[in-house]
Structure 1
């Protein structure tokens, strides 16, 4: 198990333009460093806001050592808390999702309201002050229907992302959406391999026959800072979309931690379906036409997303172990769309269920090969794997900075 100083040395020794060395994809000490310096300090996509339909609806997730519960209050505001009772530490909510009137600890029935205030604790004595034992808060923001959380005491700025994301997502009307289907799988691969696989389509032609009916594997379409003048199709697509009120131009974080980009689908396709036609009769929000293409949004370290005219697909990854990653996918449709009338669930989900399983196989075989003593890092394609190179540069840059002598050792909890 590598120490943090050894992890730093490996990162500093990395050859630019090459994959990471073996231990950086499988060592428990490296994962612990990743958790402490990235996952516990960055904003993470948690859930689509529409997953919590009514007050009392909750969802849970596990971020490294931290169980978290996200819940909608009576004021319809979404809040997040550490999913830990202030009495003896029992998890308050064991289910992935559900609904409740109050948060009641199953151990000794300490009870918290939906805003995290302790409202009942039996037989604690006259000197007990319940106001000192409210749930510990986790920073939580809803950006245009996507809920982000941050475990750090002082989270990094999100003001650069917030206005851009809310503007680009506004036509999709996520506040008026619902979850039509949800899938959670475990990929037996390091979380960085899952992100790397997502950041390129070099593998798409050989691995994703369903997706390639509608999604272009031309690397110029999704070049990191936008297509060049040799991609007239996307320029014309932007003009058409922008004339209809859809923000479309590539926009990004200075270090590319996130990016928004609207791209056309292949040959006028309307959606990610086997027929290439829209899967849902009722469009999302105020989307003006079916063939608006896909608004792509990624945010490191844990999310990539597609927003189309007829539905949206949001993805969240969470590390489980050095070589296991949980991948959760939610398909969103207009809240008034009726299954069996406005959409067929198999038609809606088939392409990405296929693609997710194909990606799982790719990542798992990638991990198995990297575990071999014969593995050594190979060079990335600057044409096909520009996105992977950028992700690895972002990862190594932020980790070497935070693993330095003045970096902290872990997150402090947000103030109550």
Structure 2
């Protein structure tokens, strides 16, 4: 059966435009791929869960560039009452809610989704995140191909972020005391945390499970028995900028505790070592979560920037000091695609296209991170050499063409 004109229902719980996180960028990337293959894509979402408010301007841009239609569910008063009732129940009984529960998919939302499904009659439905799986629990929906695209193992991700939150509360100020333990490179190692069996059972409800991390692909394969697990990492079109490698390094802060932990690791463990040897060093930090952190000497907070091309064009390099999490660090792929070398911790670097000393650096500890930062800060030619290699690496292995090929195989 031809891919062209296939009807696809694509559920994403947030407004992805303008993209403010790696998940938003992945959503737009998948929508663009489906549209380019000729699919008729309907994006479905809800105001109940969206991190960014849904506005008419966002819907219009999405319909003009990424999909054929956008349908948004507005929760009813009854939905909110039921959500409140169940939330109080779980708090009173001290139980952890199921991953996919009425808290995320109230009855009104499930009914709305089924009606739209019957009206559109799609051949394929795509879910993002296991939290909203209950939308797909209906015999009528079981008749079509079901795909879940996972950015994270959400049960593991939630547990890890919860652990970090015990040590770090936001907003973080220069007077906030941070226990050194949470800023150690091996902070998560002795905790032996795993995703829940419930989450793997959810994946088995789908014909295909897409993972963006090779490591998690193998984990899911070993824990499931019905779903076909497919590895499709984040793809990123390369951008031929006039890279100048003249201004500060860049770090993009996404809306989660791993980014806060990584930022604190850098400013407390790495930055002092850099400034001891070169007081001119500057880190430019972008992202909406800048409101939750402070800027010591050597750091400039720029907040959310809709288009980072200007920063990428002038920055010397990018950093990713993340110490834990699940999925893939999309910020690494994006920076490399724009011609920047990236310095990453061992944790985030091993999940990325970084080849040490060829298109970036992978640091085992704070001293190595500082050393690599100084090398790039003081040598524009090295920035250019590694940056061009970084862009070539993305062009060869993470291009839009490879995404279209992967999606074609999946849809057929």
Same fold (TM over 0.5): no
Decide which structure has greater helix share. Answer: 2
Decide which structure has greater strand share. Answer: 1
TM-score (norm 2): 0.28
TM-score (norm 1): 0.28
